[in-house]
Structure 1
């Protein structure tokens, strides 16, 4: 529902604020990914479960055999792909 003050929350989800998919690589126990200048932090998932939050683009992980995914988060709290 849009009010009369001109504020449109849908604008926070438009193409200019959306973050793309993060490309993740794992060498030994070091997980790394491409950063986004609009990201305020990254959420790291291990085997589909939340693992850690970080503002860096590398992270030392405990299990090099697990499956990791990373999602970028913008200043509006919107998760990347």
Structure 2
């Protein structure tokens, strides 16, 4: 059985340098990122990390895709404002 993970990271309204250590660790560990375009763009992702950005009105489809990827063994991060 493959075990994946799904973490929700809130970026908040503040300076990106003020991200909590827990949120920063989740971003470092994740392979795939789901979220609204501007939220994903606030992250400095590595070349091996994949973006799955979508419009703000696509929450259900985005959540479903993130859950399916995590259930399949992926290390997934859902980014929120």
> What's the TM-score bracket when you normalise by the shorter of the two chains?
under 0.3
Larger Rg: 1
Instruction: Identify, as 1 or 2, the structure richer in strand.
Output: 1
TM-score, length-scaled by structure 1: 0.28
Q: What TM-score comes out, normalization by structure 2 length?
A: 0.28
Instruction: Name the structure, 1 or 2, with higher relative contact order (CA <8 Å, separation 6+).
Output: 2
